Structure 1
Amino acid sequence: MSSLETLTLLELAHGRPESMSGADRRPRPIAGRIRATVRGFGALGCRSLLLIALLSIWEAAPRLGLVDPVFLPPFSEVIAAGWQLAQTGELYDDVSASLLRALSGFLISVALIVPLGLLVGWYARLGNLLNQLIEICRNTAPLALLPVFILLLGIGEMSKITMVIYSCAWPLLLNTIAAVRQVDPLLIKSARTMGATAPQLFRKVILPAALPTIFVGIRLASASAMLVLVASEMVGAKAGLGYLIINSQYSFLIPQMYFGILGITVIGLAFNAVLQTLERRFMRWKALVAT
């Protein structure tokens, strides 16, 4: 019996005649995608329920007298205050100033520190040489150095961007070093056995294996950037969300203060979502391996 006849008999036995067209086979993957989409919306709805509940409590508690509305205004009043800031243009100035400082410092830090971490992680002698300096610097709190940066660089943009770079450096550096050192030695030996050159070894083995941990450092650095930026804007700035928060507190504009806090939260969430998207794009091979 030929292989074609055997294949035909197997298809008939499973109830799938050879004449079945491609269009007849499509409903199965389409149905799977529909089910996955429905499950995704269901999960999103469950996660949103908690947020809606918290916002409802925030709105109701001051109106019911459970908390003092002077110190915790209803959520709707906070949004109304933000809308007024947007109409006057002040909100745009503050958000753009904070985003410029945060993104500049964060991107400069990634461009400088990730390559340094790859070198320190790969070359043990360089790591031993810099280890003591790294430990001293990473255990010095960035906010403790804020007066030093202001004295040396002034109260302009340079001191704030430098503060962001410094605060982002240590989670980036430590996670990148750990990522390179944790690459499976068996993978490196196998690549060398197959004749991979040093650039090929780095590009094909070390960097893909280290990327997940490097992205952990990148996301930690983004959170650190927003934290330090807001603190620096509270000390010496005339624009920015940190300035908006502290100025609203001093002026007793409590709804504006809360809106500034919400603005920082939204920016942080958007920043994290962008980084997660980039992580999935750069590490599509993980999904292929999982399947």
Structure 2
Amino acid sequence: MKSVIIQKSEDRRMERTIGFVGCGNMASAMIQGWVQAGISGDQIIVSNRSAEKPLKIQNTFGVHIGSNLDVARSAKWVVLAVKPKDIENVLDEIRGQLTSESIVVSLAAGVTLETLERKLDPSTKILRMMPNTAAALNQGVIACVKGRNITSVDFNETEELFKKLGYFLPIEEKQMHGEIGLSGSAIAMFYLMADAMGDAGVTLGFTKAEAIRLAAATMSGAGAMMLQSQKHPIQLKDEVCSPGGTTIEMVRSLEATGFRNTVIEAVLAAATKSKALSEK
């Protein structure tokens, strides 16, 4: 695949396609996914408070390292991958370096478009996104909310770039808290479930690594079955439950211990936390 072509400003040359302010796990996952999808590390610039993480990413993927200001002035998509508590300071720092072509992409949970728009120039193009770390394998979910200045061309170009990381889902801002519960944070629930299955596997005579591999492969297969067959998950569940068999006994045990409600409450807890962050 070809890298996205950068449109050059008449008053300031945009040298990179993608820039990251903040270089934690999510930024690393997205960079890995893009490089695997064919985007050159030469088209990516990163900044971070400490030098260790950017240097590691540079050595692995060939990206450029600069300051927050370098990222803001040289990238078309300026991805803010910092903690919510740091977002306003970053916005104050970079606002004077953004061009009319810059698209600011905030990954900060709970930070609303209103907050972003209040801190930046009124004409700034802004998007909110919530990806998950499966973007590293081009299997992520990337929910996207567009701000008032995003044109249809901007959004189409953004979708073409970000769908290289996985499933790109346009949503309304009021749905963002729910998306965080259902996907952005929920990926950790599947990791926790895999680890629990790993412990069960050890009890049953497998090594932890063998058991987790079995769990992960089973989760992957179940996801593929739901997405590709387009059958309701209850139908798929019923199809594998034989009368008096082992699978229905597992389902009975899960229902008896409140598994379904535990999942519901976990999703709602993450969504509630996201809402609380947005109200600070």
Q: TM-score, normalised by structure 2?
A: 0.24
Decide which structure has greater helix share.
Answer: 1
Structure showing greater Rg: 1
Q: TM-score, normalised by structure 1?
A: 0.23
Decide which structure has greater strand share.
Answer: 2
Bigger RCO (CA 8 Å, 6+ sep): 1
